A and B are shown apart, each in its own frame.
Chain A
Amino acid sequence: MNRLTTLPHLQRRYPLLQLAVLVLLVLEIGQRDADFSWADLFAPILLQASFLGIAAAGQTLVVLVGGLDFAIAAYIVAGDLLITHLVGNEHWNFAAAAALVAAICLAGGGFTGWVCHRFQLEPLVITLAMSSIVVGALVGTNTTLLNGSGPGWLQTFSQANAKTFGLPVPPIVAFWVVLAAVISIVLLRTPWGRALYLAGSGPRAAELAGVRTRRVWTGTYAASALLAGLAGVLLAGYSTGGDTNVGNTYLFPGLAAVIVGGTMMGGRGDYLRTCLGALIVTALNFLISVLDITSAGAQSIVFGALILLFVAFYGRERRLRDRV
């Protein structure tokens, strides 16, 4: 049993390395700023991280099932544009507009998962194509989509100094905590979530054990699109005027959050790890701005190097000789 209690084993079970890095990052930011107050250190990090964390939730599910979703940016844009336009310009009811976003996301995502599984297509290519289709069709039908603004209450939802039930936590952060709890429970404690892990970690074994893997793929991609759409809706309060590039800010950093958190393709990881990943990525951004590195590129470089380092500790491929 001694072998099992060594550090690598514990790391596989709990995201210790990630926790340590996060604590160090936050300490360093506070040190540099000489400010450890809630309002100036923790709340802003949590606020930024909540957007990233919500945007990366769908990617976590898709990576767990063994795929990749590069259409996340497009569904974020869809949520953002439709809410700002329909509520801001056309004075629709918010719920109706949100329902439309949900319908588009579920249809697009569900189709992606189904077609990838049915014809064994490369998810990378199909999600890229879906992303072109969704953004293209949306903006192509109505270019006035680009100048609306979100409803006022949604704007307070993501304000740094807003309170939730009297607590000094921005509502969106509280929302993120609740969402994380719900996703974690669904993933870890419901048959649906377990089926997702099974389909991801052994597709053929899952099929033989009676898991309907095509349904799992369809459902997972639909859920991913839906969560991305949700992130877009929330961003509508944050931004005025739609922007077709708003999603790109979250696509690669979102994937980075998933990987840094320790979720790897094929059933290893969970959403709480992604939350940690989102916090690390965000804290890193803060550190770079605190360090006063004027170069816009430094953040990217550190990201890339950090992911390489993290992945070196876990989740590398099997050796060629073990595949003979």
Chain B
Amino acid sequence: MTLLAVEALAKSFGPTKALRACTLELRAGEVHALMGENGSGKSTLVKILSGVHRPDAGRIALAGAAGAEPAPVAPRGPRAAIASGVATVFQEVQCVPAQSVLENLWLGVDGIVRRAKGSGAVPAGRRRERATEVLTRLLGACPDLDAPAGSLSLSERQAVAIGRSLLRDPRVLILDEATSALDVATRDRLFAACRELTGRGGSVLFISHRMDEVEQIADRVTVLRSGESVGTLERERADIDTLVRLMTGGEQLVARETRERAEPGAVLLAADGLDLRAGEIVGLAGLEGQGQDEYLRALRAKADAGTRVAAVARDRREESIFPPLSIRENFTAATLRRDARAGLISTGRARERFAAYRERLKIKIGRDSDPITTLSGGNQQKVVIARALAGDPQVLLLNDPTRGIDIGAKHDVYALLRDLAASGLAIVMLSTEVDEHLELMDRVLVFREGAPAAQLRRDELTRAALVTEFFGPAAEQDAESGPENTAGPQKASTARISEPAPTSFAARAARLAVERTWVVPAVLALALLIANVAAQHSFLEWHSWILTFAEVATPALAAMASTPAILGGGGGIDISIAPLFVFVSVVVEVMLLGNGIAGAAVVIPVAVLVGAAIGAVNGALVNYGRYQAVVATLCMNFILSGFALAYAPAPAAGTTGWLTSLGTTVAGIPGGLILLAVPLLAWFGLGRTPFVRTLCAVGGSETTAYTAGVNVPAVRTLGYALGGAIAGLAGLAITAQLHQAEADTGFVTPFILLAIAAVALGGTPLTGGRGSLFGSLLGAAVIFLVENLLGALHISSFWSQAVYGATLIAAVLFAARTARSGRSSR
């Protein structure tokens, strides 16, 4: 019975046709492998099935739950795909390092503020139990569910990501090269779990580069080539040769070389296991993450000062191209000074230099002043290679240069590399394609467990020999601990937060400071409080406490108001909080009190709602309008200041009974204290819903949250709205304190700086994901106490400004250091 049917699916990204015509049928109860070279469209297909991308053409049909006929589906996002029963595990390990394993496992299940309910939902009490079950099945033993996910090993983190998908009880499980980060034992347990799923009538779409894994688990294999599905084979017919022929289109990847290769020249670069000679091409091979990546990177530093080395990095988007710049500017990046005449760059000269490479590398472009992003991946890569060659290197280091480029461009690159080697260049090339090694290399270093383990000369190079070396001698294979203890590329990108068991007191204190972000500002505030009392004994008296709370309330509320947007990450920062609370105070003074509306039951809700509404507009601009947060809130800053000034060109004064007591005491309690307690209690209440956790997960890793099914824009927008509501309270606080509303920019501007500074001082990193409202309150208290102390010591208020600036830099530096030391302790 067909569970999932894909028909003639197509998808383009700009000039690149990632998927042309993909057809695939997934039967109930089977493990279906998907194979293809890099760039054949596997990832695009997965992203369409998982709801990330929408296809340009074609149909997807999914069988209903009760065995009904497949009906067309068009998932509008990961959440919809997961709800329809399709769960995906991506190659890039998706986890939120700062959150607990348990939180990571259930991420995306709940709604924004309401927990998941209904027939299929797992009640909160059973979640721990289910989590233990799933992780035990995958890992043999269950790790500490309350430990931060960042403290786990790479393999364990991937197991958590797989567990997240399994907990959703999918009918279709997609594993997109999800096994490359797993150790062997975990992989075998995953396969057992897959069998269990297919036994229940589900099916698995399994993507892997490893032929052995495909042989072990797959029932059928579909092969993709250049965005088209070229065939589906039963397992018994899917031998390596047939698969390779299908993947490469039958033709030989590189025309077999007939002419004799030149004898290699002098040694140019010596490293462990490699004496690189002029004129040779050396391949670096091995399973993913066996240390070849690090080795290649280290080679660059090992060259003698006199040797010219050029390198082409692996990640084209992040490490190679400059997206907004033109093709020509991308080309000249490493050789800027060559075009300089008397210090000025000559465009003509750059154009001339590029024209030579353009011809030689067959780069297909319109004008060299067009942005590089108008080119297809293959042509972009050729420009990057041209950039490396422009420096006349003696050694060229390439990291999987044909990754994700079409077959024609590949041929061009191979031909070029041969020519270059013939002219005396020494080339080291890491490749994930076995055929590239067979056709191109003079010798190949095979990596296992972090080091070169074998070397194959050209005359020894066969597919069998190479694949055998990938896994090592048979005797060792059982003892192989897998890629677990060797650093893979993912490992570097996913931070380790802390060691599971810090021993020394200092290490424990450092961990506490990292996990409880408010501890450091709390200690600082306490010390400053003592210093203040020592400098000015009257500070402890009751009437000065009332004043203190009235004075601290506004900046502290402004700081708390800035916090939710920052926690949500993605550069979320709301610099319009200060003008917002000033605007609210103008609304209160001019529109309400000025018109005789003075009841607390009207004024307070209006203030909070106005704040929340404007916060929501900010959130919508940033998250749905895709404006940069600084830009959107800068505009809001202007607009709000403008409205405030329009309604209150001069300070508008006025107060009423309850507002006056809010500035002093209400029923014996300082009004400022009440105002500060309200958002803290509300936040505490929200902490009992999924919202706060989800917001921090979004801030910690937006892609993880998104692929887990969290409605990222909605969560973030709600964060902005909550911040706005707190700013509404700040508007009440300033009106209660001053009995007037003032919209002058000289009055407003310092608060903008103050609010963000207090958040940073409060231990919340501006990159988001961690932190608390309470920390921001403490940060504001620290600033107030510093200024008060300097005032008590009769130091000019200008000096206190300088001291507060220096404190801020020190605090931010300290926070960066602790976060780093927590991360790097291994």
> Measuring CB to CB, which residues of chain A are less than 8 angstroms from any residue of chain B?
1, 4, 12, 68, 70, 115, 119-122, 124-126, 128-133, 135-140, 143, 185, 189-191, 194-195, 197-198, 201-202, 204-206, 208-211, 245, 248, 251-252, 255-256, 259, 264-268, 295-305, 307-308, 311-312, 315-321, 323-324
Contact = CB atoms under 8 A, between A and B. Distances in A.
B165 interface: no
Contacts of B625: 312, 316
B632 A308 contact: yes
Contacts of B642: 297-304
B821 interface: no
Nearest to B801: A136
A315 to B, nearest CB: 8
B760 A122 contact: yes
B809 A126 contact: yes
Interface in B286-334: 311, 313, 318-325, 329, 332-334
Nearest to A323: B703
Given A124-B756, A256-B638, A316-B626, A191 B318 contact: no
B345 interface: yes
Interface in B133-169: none
5 contacts: A125-B760, A208-B311, A252-B634, A259-B631, A300-B642
A136 B706 contact: no
Contact of B634 (A202, A259, A266, A316): A259
The interface centre, meaning the residue of B332, B641, B804 with most chain A CB atoms within 10 A of its CB, is B641
B633 to A, nearest CB: 10
B702 A205 contact: no
A270 to B, nearest CB: 12
A65 to B, nearest CB: 13
B427 to A, nearest CB: 18
Contacts of A121: 812-813, 816
A303 B645 CA distance: 14
B644 interface: yes
B321 to A, nearest CB: 6
Contact of A209 (B47, B387, B639): B387
Nearest to A303: B638
Contacts of B816: 119-121
B521 to A, nearest CB: 14
Interface residues of B, number: 86
A296 B703 contact: no
Contacts of B812: 121-122, 125-126, 129
B52 A321 contact: yes
A72 to B, nearest CB: 13
Contacts of A201: 322-325
A255 B631 CA distance: 9
A194 B329 contact: yes
B707 interface: yes
Nearest to B622: A317
Contacts of A298: 642, 646
A252 B575 CA distance: 11
Contacts of A318: 626
A300 B637 CA distance: 9
B337 interface: yes
Given A131-B805, A315-B628, A316-B628, 12 more contacts: A70-B753, A124-B766, A128-B753, A132-B804, A191-B336, A194-B336, A296-B646, A300-B638, A303-B642, A305-B635, A316-B625, A321-B77
B343 interface: yes
B800 A136 contact: yes
A295 B645 contact: yes
Contacts of A128: 753, 756-757, 805, 808
Contacts of B707: 324
The interface centre, meaning the residue of A137, A143, A295, A300 with most chain B CB atoms within 10 A of its CB, is A300
Nearest to A308: B635
Contacts of A303: 635, 638, 642
Given A205-B313, A210-B334, A319-B626, A143 B638 contact: no
B712 interface: yes
B641 A266 contact: no
B636 interface: yes
B322 A129 contact: no
A134 to B, nearest CB: 8
B637 A252 contact: yes
A311 B47 CA distance: 30
B634 A194 contact: no
A263 to B, nearest CB: 11
A139 B796 CA distance: 9
B418 interface: no
| Chain A interface mostly | helix
A75 B804 CA distance: 18
B756 A255 contact: no
B684 interface: no
The interface centre, meaning the residue of A119, A202, A265, A266 with most chain B CB atoms within 10 A of its CB, is A202
Contacts of B621: 308
Given A308-B621, A311-B627, A206 B366 contact: no
Contacts of A120: 816
A318 B625 CA distance: 11
Contacts of A124: 573, 630, 756, 766
A210 B806 CA distance: 34
B322 A297 contact: no
The interface centre, meaning the residue of A68, A298, A308 with most chain B CB atoms within 10 A of its CB, is A308
A136 B345 contact: no
A190 B345 contact: yes
Interface in B787-817: 795-796, 798-806, 808-809, 812-813, 816-817
A115 B644 CA distance: 37
Contact of B799 (A140, A302, A321): A140
Contacts of B796: 139-140, 143
Contacts of A131: 753, 805
Contacts of A251: 749
Nearest to B803: A136
A209 B319 CA distance: 9
Contacts of A129: 757, 805-806, 808-809, 812
A205 B321 contact: yes
B746 interface: yes
The interface centre, meaning the residue of B53, B321, B336, B644 with most chain A CB atoms within 10 A of its CB, is B336
Contacts of A315: 628
B643 interface: yes
B805 A297 contact: no
Contacts of B343: 190
- State the 9 A-B residue pairs at the shortest beta-carbon distance, nearest first: A136-B802, A300-B642, A132-B805, A304-B638, A136-B801, A297-B645, A301-B642, A297-B646, A304-B639
Interface in B670-714: 702-703, 706-707, 712-713
Given A133-B805, A201-B322, A304-B638, A316 B627 contact: yes
Given A143-B796, A194-B336, A211-B333, A132 B808 contact: yes
Interface in B50-91: 52-53, 77, 90
Nearest to A191: B336
B199 interface: no
Nearest to B713: A320
Contacts of A12: 371
The interface centre, meaning the residue of A133, A205, A303 with most chain B CB atoms within 10 A of its CB, is A205
B805 A136 contact: yes
Nearest to A120: B816
Contacts of B53: 321
The interface centre, meaning the residue of B634, B636, B756, B806 with most chain A CB atoms within 10 A of its CB, is B634
Contacts of A268: 324
Contacts of B801: 132-133, 135-136, 140
A201 B317 CA distance: 11
B712 A320 contact: yes
Contacts of B753: 70, 128, 131-132
Interface in B393-421: none
Given A120-B816, A194-B345, A324 B800 contact: no
B649 interface: yes
